[in-house]
Amino acid sequence: MKVAVFGGTGFVGSYIIDELIDNNHEPVVQVREGSESKLANSEKCKIVPGGLDDIQSIESTIKGADAIIYCVGIIREFPKKGVTFEKLHFEAPKKCIDIANSMGVKRFIMMSANGVKVDGTGYQKTKYLAEEYLKFSDLDWTIIQPSLIFGDPRGEGRPEFCSQLKKDMLSLPFPAPNFHAGLNPMNAGKFAMSPIHVKDVAQFFVKSIELKESVKKTFALGGEAYYWKDIVTTIAKSYGKKKWMVPAPALGIQALATFLGRFSWFPITKDQITMLIEGNICESKEFYNSFKIEQTPFNTETLSYLNN
């Protein structure tokens, strides 16, 4: 099948491209100028130059496709550079949905995130609004909502949680922060996440294309749940380190991030801390079984890429 892909040069997108090719699909990938080198297996893809503000490029990418995958996502925004949640998480998929509808391409699979909500952070709200817009379209949609995604980012420029955590916090010569809400340090680290490997996410996307049971369904995806302390310990252990942790009040870090979060060199934003201490867990065994996917565990072996 011919599959139009938006976001194919990103972290998750690069694995989706591989999975499409491995399953004999033909990826048609929109690629921004200057990002050509980021496209995996480019010789096996049809490349359409352009960006998400280019209607003609979107139309060219979608034309003749049997299905569309939208997996564009950012973890923080830089408004002065035109990189915002509103633009990339809502306005751009809205354009793709409208154009797909007008061109008669019915199958649309979109990456969202577990825990999105209308009254959440900018990230959560814009993902939620895109979901709602897609649900009320006439398309045969599927929404994929991963929890924390991990896996080899395959080079620079592809943010991946574990690699970023190692670089921005765990590699520093002082204890790692054990975040807690409020003022009571006894609550430190009492939030959990369900890490899911990027290869598993890619398989869910590609298997959804032809799986009739996935049409008009939303899938919250995650692996086994781990508390923050266990996640930090496992990441550090994967590259041969033992990391001490100290309680860190989220309010203090958020106050600092309010002023410094707009700078790319500052490792975390206020909203990222908010979402972190909210936790992000889900139970997905039923979905793994119905899609016939074997779950990749979160352990030192699957985190071996952090040794690089």
Domains, the chain, ordered by start = 2-150+196-222+282-290 (3.40.50.720)
Under the banding of pLDDT at 50, 70 and 90, the label for residue 34 is: confident
Structure tokens at 17: 């491209």
Question: What Rg value do the Cα atoms of the chain yield, rounded?
Answer: 19
Cα(295)–Cα(194) distance, integer angstroms = 12
Decide if pLDDT at 63 tops 90.
Answer: yes
Decide if pLDDT at 257 tops 90.
Answer: no
Structure tokens at 146: 């991963």
DSSP annotation of 3 = E
Decide if pLDDT at 262 tops 90.
Answer: no
Query: Which has more pLDDT, 106 or 283?
Result: 106
Under the banding of pLDDT at 50, 70 and 90, the label for residue 275 is: very high
Among residues 2, 1, 24, 31, the alpha carbon closest in space to that of 14 is found at: 31
The mean pLDDT value for 286-299 works out to 97
Among residues 164, 137, 139, the alpha carbon closest in space to that of 150 is found at: 164
| Residue 157, C-beta contacts closer than 8 angstroms, at least 6 positions apart | 38
Pair 164, 232: CB distance under 8 Å: no
Phi, psi of 71 (to 5 degrees): -130, 35
Q: What confidence score (pLDDT) does residue 286 get? A: 95
Query: 50-54, 70-74, 269-273: which has the minimum mean pLDDT?
Result: 269-273
Cα(57)–Cα(88) distance, integer angstroms = 16
Q: What confidence score (pLDDT) does residue 189 get? A: 86
Residue-wise pLDDT for 130-186, tens only, equals 999 999 999 999 999 999 999 999 888 788 999 999 998 888 888 888 988 887 888
Q: What confidence score (pLDDT) does residue 116 get? A: 97
Q: What confidence score (pLDDT) does residue 11 get? A: 95
Residue-wise pLDDT for 201-239, tens only, equals 999 999 999 999 999 999 999 999 999 999 999 999 999
What is the reported pTM?
Answer: 0.95
- SS3 (DSSP) at 94: helix
Maximum CA extent, the chain: 58
Q: What confidence score (pLDDT) does residue 19 get? A: 97
The mean pLDDT value for 7-24 works out to 96
- SS3 (DSSP) at 185: helix
Structure tokens at 286: 């039923």
Tell me, what amino acid is at 268? I
